[in-house]
């Protein structure tokens, strides 16, 4: 029987020119590959494209009251406009690679098994593999990255992750318990206390009013480390295992609400983020020519190529108002819950926010 034309041949050899040509031919598709590699998180977030460096958005707030008729009254709605900056950071990657060594990496790789790639030329699979590796590192740093313009080698120092964004707001005083958008967890999550801690964060407890009632009226995501989600499920089984309606172990929603749990390995431990999908944003360009992905013949080897990527990426909350966002952190030092400074590489290095 003849081998299918789409089969991965581990003995296949191809030239650097083939890879360079493929990157140009499939550029439009490959430019979105890092986003797809981050899909575990991005599917629960808002996506903005066309953001090149900075763009401003505005939020209006006011208090307008309808009362009994009085022709002489003049209210004061106290209308305020808050500006937030959506910022992407320009980064690049230049790496020499042996394209044929990737053939063996792709053999058995999950990337080659997806429906989206099963009917494409093999050289395109190699291109997709490279792009997906960039996306995987970006995914790992979505919460812990902290921009440092002096560091040009690490993804962790390229953009500001969500922790760094929150830290800046905490420093300015715009995120705090008084503002109603920052809760200090009294202790670390365990399989014994996770259900109580999460419910206290959402509904309130002595000294904390809980998530704002206007926030609770919306369709919400609750981001947490996947281990914390597991702890909640363990805690729930321990507390309610005998209930007749408790028919499954895994819990997709906070009990008694429509709040969807989003358990991710790249979210720090002892941390919660409650917000609508359209408020927690990943920011991309993907439109201008200065965002480039290409390979060229290596200057150092006839068998290698140089992989060159330039792209914009950033993250932001569209609003930090308590009606749109509420975050829980573990207090480990000071009194503001902002001990974590970001810049970690994965869950193993981000145990405390």
Q: What is the pLDDT of residues 266-320, one digit of tens each?
A: 999 999 999 999 999 999 998 877 887 777 777 777 777 788 889 999 999 999 9
DSSP E strands, 171-270 = 182-185, 220-225, 260-264
Round to whole Å and give the CA distance between 234 and 200: 17
- Any domain includes 136: yes
The mean-pLDDT minimum among 18-22, 33-37, 308-312 falls in: 18-22
What is the rounded radius of gyration, in angstroms, for the C-alpha atoms of the chain? 24
Helix axes 194-203, 226-240, angle to 10 degrees: 100
CA atoms within 13 A on the CB side of 201: 30
CATH code: domain of residue 219: 3.90.1690
- Any domain includes 33: yes
Question: What values do phi and psi take at 286, rounded to 5?
Answer: 65, 15
Asked whether the beta carbons of 19 and 127 are under 8 A apart, the reply is yes
The mean-pLDDT minimum among 18-22, 38-42, 87-91, 321-325 falls in: 18-22
Round to whole Å and give the CA distance between 104 and 119: 19
Round to whole Å and give the CA distance between 256 and 181: 21
Closest CA to 194 of 166, 231, 139: 231
Per-residue pLDDT of 219-242, as tens digits, reads 999 999 999 999 999 998 888 766
- Any domain includes 64: no
Confidence of residue 351 (pLDDT cuts 50, 70, 90): very low
For the chain, what is the domain count?
A: 1
Can you give the pLDDT at residue 62?
A: 65
- Any domain includes 69: no
pLDDT above 60 (res 117): no
Closest CA to 306 of 160, 94, 161: 94
- Any domain includes 53: yes
- Any domain includes 283: yes
Confidence of residue 110 (pLDDT cuts 50, 70, 90): very low
Round to whole Å and give the CA distance between 302 and 292: 23
Per-residue pLDDT of 167-208, as tens digits, reads 999 999 999 999 999 999 999 999 999 999 999 999 999 999
- Any domain includes 76: no
pLDDT above 60 (res 209): yes
Can you give the pLDDT at residue 343?
A: 44
Can you give the pLDDT at residue 116?
A: 43
Domain of 246, in residue numbers: 16-57+84-349
- Any domain includes 63: no
């Amino acid at each position: 029987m003849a081998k299918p034309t789409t089969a991965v041949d581990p003995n296949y050899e191809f030239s650097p020119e083939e890879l360079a040509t493929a990157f140009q031919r499939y550029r439009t598709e490959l430019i979105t590959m890092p986003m797809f590699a981050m899909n575990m998180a991005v599917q629960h977030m808002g996506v903005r494209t066309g953001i090149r460096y900075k763009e401003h958005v505005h939020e209006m707030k006011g208090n307008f009251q309808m009362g009994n008729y009085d022709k002489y009254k003049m209210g004061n709605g106290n209308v305020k406009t808050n500006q937030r900056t959506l910022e992407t950071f320009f980064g690049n990657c230049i790496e020499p690679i042996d394209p044929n060594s990737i053939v063996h990496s792709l053999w058995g790789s999950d990337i080659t098994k997806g429906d989206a790639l099963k009917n494409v030329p093999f050289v395109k699979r190699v291109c997709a593999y490279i792009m997906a590796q960039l996306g995987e590192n970006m995914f790992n740093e979505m919460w812990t990255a902290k921009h440092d313009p002096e560091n040009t080698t690490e993804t962790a120092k390229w953009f500001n992750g969500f922790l760094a964004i929150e830290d800046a707001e905490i420093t300015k005083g715009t995120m705090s318990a008084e503002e109603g958008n920052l809760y200090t967890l009294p202790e670390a999550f365990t399989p014994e206390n996770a259900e109580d801690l999460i419910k206290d964060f959402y509904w309130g407890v002595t000294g904390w009013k809980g998530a704002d009632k206007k926030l609770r009226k919306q369709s919400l995501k609750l981001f947490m480390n996947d281990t914390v989600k597991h702890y909640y499920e363990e805690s729930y089984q321990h507390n309610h295992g005998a209930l007749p309606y408790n028919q499954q172990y895994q819990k997709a929603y906070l009990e008694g609400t429509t709040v969807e749990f989003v358990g991710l390995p790249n979210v720090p431990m002892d941390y919660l983020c409650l917000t609508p999908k359209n408020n927690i944003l990943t920011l991309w360009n993907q439109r201008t020519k200065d965002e480039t992905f290409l390979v060229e013949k290596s200057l150092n080897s006839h068998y290698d190529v140089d992989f060159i990527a330039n792209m914009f990426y950033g993250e932001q909350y569209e609003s930090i108002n308590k009606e749109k966002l509420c975050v829980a952190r573990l207090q480990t030092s000071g009194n503001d819950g902002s001990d974590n400074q970001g810049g970690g590489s994965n869950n193993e290095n981000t145990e405390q926010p």
